[in-house]
Structure 1
Amino acid sequence: MNIAPLTANELLAALALPSSALVQQRIPKKMLAENGAATSADRKLVQDGIDELAWHAALKPSNVGIPAYEDELRSYLEVTVLVARLRTEVVATDQHRSPQAPAAVSTNVRRVAELIHRAVPYPTVLLLEHGHQLVASVVHVRWAQREAGKTVLDGDSISVPIKPGPECRAFLEAMALGRQPRFHLKALYQGWFDTLSAWQAVEQTGQFRTSESPARAAERRAALRACTELDVRIATARNAAAKEKQIARQVAVNLEIKALLAERQRVAQDL
């Protein structure tokens, strides 16, 4: 039986944002190209790849009752929620995905997400719809060191497919605004970041479990990064083994693969 794909509107509804935070305005692609795309290739990707970019909501202390956050590196005065509807021609198949890797997000979709995050001076919950795939993307921002008033991406990003399945209901419930930390807007955004990390682990664990603490969430993110790196090394070693002609070298490479698989299994226990 075919299961209908999850839509951006369904995930937006799950966030349960107050009506006072809704903006619901279109963002001109020209503005995005000018602020986030530095090269001609990126500008072309914005123009040809994005069908529509919408500003869904702006979460501020005045409409969600959560204080702003500021320090010497960051200023979280609001959290934005954007929706990008992409043209199908932007999708590229990842030819090097390992069977153990999480569901692939194409290189072009990841690049579009990065360009949008770079163009917006606030931490952004970004939903990207293309074809039958929905991708959620988050990344922290901080002040640029050499350009006053400019922000840059801070740390790793998450761009993960949101697919229907047995664990999806629990995930959607966990994404609700009322389930996130309320200490300040940075903590709120980190809550969504950690929830998406937990969802990212579902494909490998089969279970959706939110993190019990910030420390546990950090352990999971580290394990996800390590698994991704090990997947690349395993795929590279398997390609080398398939091409190797010398028996002795084949044995050595296969032993390396066995060791990498064992290491990956160990790391995956932290997911």
Structure 2
Amino acid sequence: MAFNYNNLLHIPERSLLEKRLTKAFFLKNFNLSAAEKKLVNSGIESMHWLASIKPSTANIPAHIEADYKYEEIQIMVCTVPDNKLKELAEKCMILFQKYIPYQMLVIVEDANEFIINVCDKRINKNEPTKRTIERYFITNSLSKLYKNSHSEGFYKVLSFSHINKTNLKLLYKSYIQAVVQYQAAILTGYYQLRSNARTEEDMQHLAAIEELEKDIVSLSSQIKKTSQLNEKVQLNVQIKNKRDKIEALKQMLITNGE
């Protein structure tokens, strides 16, 4: 039996679509690369258009700016083969977000787990019908079979009754907030609902942690390659400094100040 994501999102019935999205939709309507065609034909098992949140179905005003349009929020589910989620999830998210110009919440799933993605999507000035992705926000794998304190907190703020419905921009930002705070909770052990301003700070902290972790991987690789003791010591000192910075950033994520 298919997993019912609306048990988490609680989208009002008027905004539900529950429509199958065919592979031909991507193959015929977009100029896909060879890798993208292979993904659609061989990597994706099925696609489901769960909901379309827009003024006419949700009574929530659109919001249009010079660089951004929040006219509709599309929610789609992409199913990949079992044990292929980690391999294919990011590719599927990029495919959906790249070619569909609306703001989107994309769920990629296999039989037992799923990953949720949202992103900042800006109007392409050279081709106004297209969008430029500024940044992706992606959860780690979430189990369909069990919950923990982090996922329970995450699902609570994803619920339609808890998100900001002032306009479609703030609604979509609520989804981004939820994902960012879930990412923070994985690192800190605490799920905390933040203001928009504080979420922006946390996004910067998470990005800095990600870069520091990449640096540590690179330095660790250098240690394995060198035979000089002094160089190994210096590299280990750099790794410790970066780990200390990561811990300091985690403490900033934990603090309650807005």
Task: State whether TM-score is above 0.5.
Answer: yes
The whole-number CA distance in structure 2 between the counterparts of 1:202 and 1:121 is 30
Aligned 8 A contact 1:79 1:123 in 2: yes
1:169–1:226 Cα change, 3 Å: same
Q: Is 1:173 matched up with 2:156?
A: yes
Deviation at 1:36, TM superposition (A): 5.6
Equivalent residue number for residue 196 of structure 2? 214
1:253 pairs with 2:243: no
The one-letter amino acid of 1:203's match is I
Aligned residues of 2:81 and 2:110 also touching (Cα < 8 A): yes
State whether structure 2 residue 36 is matched by structure 1 residue 42. yes
Alpha-carbon contact 1:37-1:115 (below 8 Å) kept: no
- Unpaired stretches in structure 1, ≥5 consecutive residues: 1-6, 92-105
Alignment deviations for residues 185-204 of structure 1 (CA, whole Å, 9 cap, x no partner): 01100101011111112221
User: Alignment RMSD, CA only?
Assistant: 1.8
Corresponding residue for 2:79? Answer: 85
Does 2:210 align with 1:228? Answer: yes
Q: Which residue of 2 aligns with 1:103?
A: none
The structural deviation recorded for 1:132 is 2.4
What do the CA deviations read for 1:82-101 (whole angstroms, capped 9, x no partner)?
A: 0111123644xxxxxxxxxx
Q: Is the contact between residue 80 and residue 88 of structure 2 (CA under 8 Å) also seen in structure 1?
A: no
Structure 2 SS opposite 1:124: strand
Match of 1:83, as an amino acid?
V
| Number of the residue aligned with 1:189 | 172
Partner of 1:111: 91
Q: 2: distance between equivalents of 1:269 and 1:251?
A: 27
CA displacement at 1:34 relative to structure 2: 4.5
Q: Choose from 111, 120, 124 the match for 2:100.
A: 120
The secondary structure found in structure 1 opposite 2:127 is: coil
Q: Which amino acid aligns with 1:121?
A: P
Structure 2 match to 1:60: 54
TM-score (norm 2): 0.90
Q: Quick one: which of 194, 202, 212 aligns to 2:185?
A: 202
Q: CA deviation at 1:65?
A: 2.1
Q: Does the 8 A contact of 2:78 with 2:92 survive in 1? A: no
Q: Secondary structure at the match of 2:46?
A: strand
Distance 1:254 1:214, change over 3 A: same
TM score, norm. by length of structure 1: 0.86
Counterparts of 1:225 and 1:171, CA distance in 2: 20
The aligned length equals: 248
Q: Deviations over 1:56-96 (max 9, x none)?
A: 111011222211011122221110110111123644xxxxx
What SS does the aligned partner of 2:149 have?
coil
Offset of residue 55 of structure 1: 0.6
Q: Show the counterpart of 1:240.
A: 222
Provide structure 2 residue ranges, at least 5 long, that are not aligned to the other structure: 254-258
Deviation larger for 47-56 or 165-174:
165-174
Moved over 6 A (4+): none
From 154, 158, 169, give the equivalent of 2:137.
Answer: 158
Q: 2: CA distance between counterparts of 1:251 and 1:151?
A: 47
Letter in 1 for 2:236: N
**For 1:37 and 1:175, how far apart are their aligned partners in 2?**
34
Assess, with a 3 A threshold, how the Cα gap between structure 1 residues 203 and 188 changes in structure 2: closer, same or farther.
Answer: same
Greater relative CO (CA pairs within 8 A, separation 6+)? 1
